[in-house]
Chains A and B, each alone.
Chain A
Amino acid sequence: MPIDRELLKGSIALLILRLLSERDMYGGEIIQESARRTQDAFAFKEGTVYPALHQLYKRGWLWSEWRRGPNGKQRKYYGLTAAGRRAASRTQRDWRIFTDTVNAILAGG
């Protein structure tokens, strides 16, 4: 079931940082991978991943380079810098605290 778009907006950076902490990926690959892992629940518009990637790149959390993908086509790959790895850990920790807190409230008294 697709997730509310407003919820996705706030978590797209976390999602990108998490996926890139596993391996370098290009934009389309990030979208495919998130769709695959969530059984298409993360059905955000594909174009929105690029502003998020560029924002993270500008913060110095990502590096990028053009290289050949598996099908021989040139792709712009992104990976995490050292600052990006620290940010990924921090955002995951913050997300867990946030979800634990919300879950505690949702669970009731």
Chain B
Amino acid sequence: MREVDRIVERVLLRAKIPGAARRREIERELRDHLEGMAEEDLDRFGSPEVVGDALARVYAAERLAAHVARSATLVIASGLAAAVIITGVQVVMTAATLRAISSEIAGFATVALGYCAAYLARRQFRLSVPSVVGVIVGGALWISAGLSVLAPRHAVIATVAFLSTAFGGLLVYATPVPLLWLAGTAGPLLIASIALGPLVPGAGRFPWLIWVGLSLSCGALRLVVRVFERYVFSDQLRSVDIALPPPSNNRAKTIP
């Protein structure tokens, strides 16, 4: 890789410019400038990190808006996927009539929020596992408080659903052990069942049907997230991944 390419890439990685067209335009402008300089004069350009940080500040508001819009779209898509999965499980496994969907909306939303909170905190914001746990517990408290006012009958089960999918999601993104996330979805259900008794009338000590629904939802949301990572979040993740320090034997030349 030429020195000019290296400098441009380092600027763009730090700048995290929202929008492919704008990013290409800035890349072209910087490349045009650098290619007009002699190789030995490239240090006159300044530190790529300093220039990238300054560009990042210029486009901070647009970047935040884009991130919020992408995350909101992910939560909505996840909510729809959760609705399809959970409703499907209820219909197939209970062979019962479809319960009123309106009474389930809080559950679908918290399932989607739980998984997306774990994904965004762990994968997008690169928080440590204890910090993600803090986010999940904080989120559960807010959801519990909100639903106690808005939909008191669903507050407990919806909060437990949030915790189940959040811890399932956390184990998906924090450990390489396959299927361990199933324990993540089961844990909050088990604890809640022991502490509070049957979560739904007629269910046994452990609500297997709910666990199956939540686990299948986690599996579906994992696919939804993969699609988003491939087509929506790809630039952000690439920035974060490449911005990590390069190996010492391939370290780019540092320009003061």
Is B truly associated with A? yes
Q: Which A residues have a C-beta under 8 Å from some C-beta of B?
A: 27-28, 45-48, 50-52, 54-55, 58, 73-76
Residues of A within 8 A of B59 (CB): 54, 58
Contact B50 A47 (CB under 8 A): yes
Residues of B within 8 A of A75 (CB): 32
From known contacts A45-B46, A45-B47, A46-B44, infer whether A51 and B54 are also in contact, taking CB-CB under 8 Å: yes
Chain B interface main SS type: helix
Residues of B within 8 A of A48 (CB): 46, 50-51, 54
User: Using a CB-CB cutoff of 8 Å, which residues 21-67 of chain B contact chain A?
Assistant: 25-26, 28-30, 32-33, 36-37, 44-48, 50-51, 54-55, 57-59
What CA separation (Å) do A78 and B54 show in the bound complex?
Answer: 19
Contact A50 B32 (CB under 8 A): no
Residues of B within 8 A of A58 (CB): 58-59
Residue of B at shortest CB range from A55? B58
Contact of B48 among A47, A55, A73 (CB under 8 A): A47
* CB of B11 closer than 8 Å to a CB of A: yes
What CA separation (Å) do A28 and B33 show in the bound complex?
Answer: 6
Residue of A at shortest CB range from B37? A46
Give the shortest distance, in Å, between B23 (CB) and chain A (any CB).
12
Residue of A at shortest CB range from B256? A45
Residues of A within 8 A of B26 (CB): 50, 54
